[in-house]
Chains A and B, each alone.
Chain A
Amino acid sequence: MDARVVEELRAVLGRDGVLAERARRTPYEADGLAFARCLPELVLLPRDTRETAAALRVLAAHGIPVVPRGAGTGLSGGATPVEGGVVIGTARMRRILALDADNRLARVQAGVVNADLGRAAARHGLFYAPDPSSQKACTIGGNVGENSSGPHGFRHGSTTRHVLGLVLVTPEGDVLDLSRPEHDPHGYDLVGLFVGSEGLLGIATEITVALLPLPPLVETMLALFRDLDSACDAVSDLVAARLEPTAIEVLDQLTIEAVEASVLAAGYPKDAAAVLLLESEGSEAEVASTLGAIEPLLRARGAFEVRRARDELERARLWAGRKGAYGAMGRVAPDLYVCDAVVPRTRLAEIVRVTIAICQARGLRVANVFHAGDGNLHPNIPYDRRDAGQLARVLEAGDAILDAVLAVGGSLTGEHGVGLEKIGAMGRAFSPDDLDAQCRVRDAWDPARRMNPGKLLPVHACRETHTRDPRGGAR
């Protein structure tokens, strides 16, 4: 990086806000998509909106590409640095600026950790609903970028439902204050468009979110099955019966083994081929009526045991095990490829079977732990990235799974984003006209295409869709 640019950035961010030494940049060379790596030229850590804007103006003046980053827990390579570019991280923007319990909203800086907001809200009898498995580390800004969700998204929806306003900095360094919570947008819904835009439209620095009242009662239920198909069919039945628990999760045997062998051992039964983890919240009557209606449907699909968590401690352990499942898979292999796709909820069992067959045909193991109620599959493939042949088979399996998902009307991603990982599949999910409309929107925000280039949208020039796989090799 040109020394003059570094000095200009230090002038606006201070010495602590500009990481130039190689050793300090190295931790930023990848996010949760571990096999994609690139050392950023610089890492910038602004403390607020003003500093972020000043930094972006300097970068715009020099035409330098920018990759926004929260905690780097994303799994699609959305925060993977780009050649010749800088990373702007939100690690020094961790203040909860306001918590307005009367109006049930909070205004936070982008780097506030999801779980920290949850704890702050709980002191007022409120909670923030989106709960990604990485919520102890991931940030609200990152959640906005990816439109993240989590197990309780079944009832409460993804991040977009909970964002009331934003302060964002445009690629040119202009501050756009969309923070006034709007009943309905006057004009176009810029906030709705920005959420889930994966860092291509600018950097959100402050976020106003809706908070919900903590429910008077929460109950967690476990249902054990002798095969994964039956568990999936049970989920399809629950959805068809229009039952509305807050979460419907599936864990398969490999996942359970990994969790139970880890420090997160939660008491999941190792003799079950699949476990359904369900939760219901509300008044005592509401919870009793929901879970009471669910149980016979589970048994009709062959659940050999259905039981409820005995107390809050067991409930917390079951969820810690579920949310720690990705980490626990570290016992199975050094790396984990976490697929993310959505299928119609009427076809869960069929597609889960297909994903298993795809992996088996390539000599790969697969662990399924997923948000079944939303049809959001996560076939997780353990691998060792030092084995190039194995990595190639993993990527091939991932592509084949996406093809199978698209063939039944599914989508490429339910919560992890397209990022770098799935950019090559966008042309299979959308027509050239569809992609053209998305490119037009991106170009209206970022004509120079400097924000997170090479992510989400295939390179489009004169409607020519780029065909090279960004992960390397031709498609």
Chain B
Amino acid sequence: MSTATVRAPHSIEAAVACVREAARDGAVILPTGCGSKRSWANAAPRVDVELSTRALTGVVAYEPGEGVITALAGTCWAELQELVARHGHHLSPWIPDPASATVGGVVAAGQSGADRLRYGPLRHHVLGMRVVTGAGQVVQCGGRLVKNVTGFDLHRLHTGAHGTLGLVAEVSLRLHAAPEVRAAGLAFVPTRQAGWQLAGEILRASRLAWTVMVHDLVRPGQSGPWLVAALVAGPAPAVRAELAALRRDAPQLPWLCGAPQTEEERRAHDVWSGIVALERPGATWPTLRATTLPTALPAACDALDAAARAQGLEVKLVAQPALGVVDAWIRGLGPDSLASLEVALASAGARVHWRGLPDELRRGQDIFGKAEPAGLALMRRLRDALDPRGTFARGRLAGGL
């Protein structure tokens, strides 16, 4: 990887030239943005050229009255968020570190955000894209309209493909109305079981929840507080009415609405901001994301806890009960413990995805777990059809794709 040449074209045409040159020379390309999610995919066995989109920046089209934005792949996510916010729009996904993420990187990594409960996964917001293929063609997939069923939805293939099918060069995204008001609720509960119960009460009472999380703030084996954190957002009267209902149905949860006034509210606000940004002591540890059906999540968390304890690992969990997702920050991992955690989760019916593993652990691992994805043979045929010469680095996704 360290010997790869880095290219950073300033235009799609220049990117095409880079790809054609690489294809001519038989070189293998790894598309990159800021590189913040490189560890979300497997290490590519061979990379000759890193094709960075960092210079491929700019908004191509944004008409606020239409509610759609189109930007070149290297455009910074935070810049887009700020631009659309000035016109009353919200750009989903709401991700932890937007200043170090690019549009192309978010889309290629299939990154969803803390607003997923309300707006759905990233793939629901991607309306279309332009992609540079391994043959150096520029292919339009989808379009720039909020509704469109013309042709195959090829943009669905490229979303989350980590650039294995081509370079995502330009993306069109659907925007949402920015909420007038956001209100955060935070409560400490004595057990995780109490956390599930409180989260369930919030979810039953809320239509405007952006996120509801159950946080494990303690080390395994210790008793201590679990944190339930929720955020609701929307038009001011609707949020106020919902908070009234939540205060009735889940009275143990204090809610902050608007700027924090008291010292206690400021502290709670800081905790909430930290949760959103995931700026916690464990944030630099490798993360295991396990996903399953919402009803199976408590059992998956228990299995994960038990396996981590057996391995003597330090682990912090952040669960999103409505989505069936738990992120576990884990310290002290070795190759054996990776495998045993995967086995424990698989037996609880959960899928795994490792993120942030150090290179020495990532090499030789399939960070998507050992189970092959259904339809792998067909996926290989699709990849070979779209990039027959293997111009884009392979082996980065599940099953060696």
Contact = CB atoms under 8 A, between A and B. Distances in A.
Interface string B143-187: 111111111111011011100010000000000111000000000
A187 B373 contact: yes
Interface in A83-102: 102
A290 interface: yes
B393 to A, nearest CB: 15
9 tightest A-B CB contacts, nearest first: A192-B156, A285-B241, A242-B177, A240-B65, A183-B291, A286-B238, A187-B373, A444-B385, A440-B385
Nearest to A178: B374
Contact of A413 (B144, B150, B238, B401): B150
A344 B351 contact: no
Interface string A163-207: 000000010000011101111111111101101110000000000
Question: Which one of A189, A342, A375, A412 has the highest number of Cβ atoms from chain B below 10 Å of its Cβ?
Answer: A189
Contact of A444 (B64, B146, B324, B382): B382
B26 interface: no
Contacts of A213: 207
B139 A149 contact: no
A375 B235 contact: no
Interface string A437-458: 1101111110000000000110
Given A183-B324, A187-B379, A284-B241, A444 B65 contact: no
Nearest to A104: B294
Nearest to B164: A188
Given A183-B323, A193-B153, A444 B378 contact: yes
Contacts of B67: 239, 242, 345
Contact of A153 (B147, B240, B294): B147
Size class of the contact patch on chain A: 35 or more
A192 B126 CA distance: 12
Contacts of B220: none
B217 interface: no
B368 interface: yes
A289 B207 CA distance: 15
A52 to B, nearest CB: 17
Given A285-B241, A345-B67, A196 B293 contact: no
6 contacts: A185-B373, A285-B238, A346-B63, A409-B144, A422-B150, A441-B154
Interface string B69-104: 000000000000000000011000000000000000
A193 B137 contact: no
A232 B150 CA distance: 24
Contact of A188 (B234, B245, B293, B401): B401
A229 interface: no
Residue with the highest number of chain A CB atoms closer than 10 Å, among B67, B139, B149, B295: B149
A282 interface: yes
Interface stretch (B116-124, B255-263, B271-279): B116-124
Given A195-B153, A283-B242, A412-B150, A186 B368 contact: yes
B397 A187 contact: yes
Interface residues of B, number: 78
A441 B137 contact: no
B149 A147 contact: yes
B147 A415 contact: yes
A285 B240 contact: yes
B184 to A, nearest CB: 19
Contacts of B178: 242
A415 B151 CA distance: 11
Contacts of A158: 147, 149
A161 interface: yes
Q: Looking at A153, A187, A196, which has the most chain B CB atoms within 10 Å of its CB? A: A187
A416 B368 CA distance: 37
A190 B235 CA distance: 36
A283 B241 contact: yes
Contacts of A410: 145
- Most chain A C-beta atoms within 10 Å of own C-beta, residue among B63, B89, B234, B353: B234
Given A443-B385, A456-B152, 5 more contacts: A183-B351, A236-B65, A286-B235, A289-B237, A413-B149
Given A283-B241, A440-B386, A441-B386, A184 B207 contact: no
Interface string B360-384: 0000000011000111101101111
Contacts of B145: 342-344, 375, 409-411, 414
Interface string A361-401: 00000000001001110000000000000000000000000
B63 to A, nearest CB: 6
A367 B247 CA distance: 50
Contact of B146 (A345, A412, A441): A345
A426 interface: yes
A2 interface: no
Contact of A415 (B149, B156, B165, B291): B149
B272 to A, nearest CB: 23
Contacts of A189: 123, 156-157, 159-160
Given A239-B65, A375-B145, A430 B177 contact: no
B399 A187 contact: yes
Interface in A201-247: 213, 215, 236, 239-240, 242-244
A354 B216 CA distance: 60
Q: Which of B147, B236, B376, B385 has the most CB of A within 10 A?
A: B147
Interface in A62-103: 102-103
B148 A342 contact: yes
Residue of B123, B148, B160 contacting most chain A CB atoms (<10 Å): B148
A304 B85 CA distance: 34
Contacts of B176: 242, 244
Interface string B286-321: 000001011100000000000000000000000000
Contacts of A288: 237
Contacts of B324: 103, 183
A282 B207 contact: yes
Residue among B144, B242, B293, B323 having the largest count of chain A Cβ atoms under 10 Å: B293
B378 A434 contact: no
Nearest to B238: A286
Contacts of B234: 286
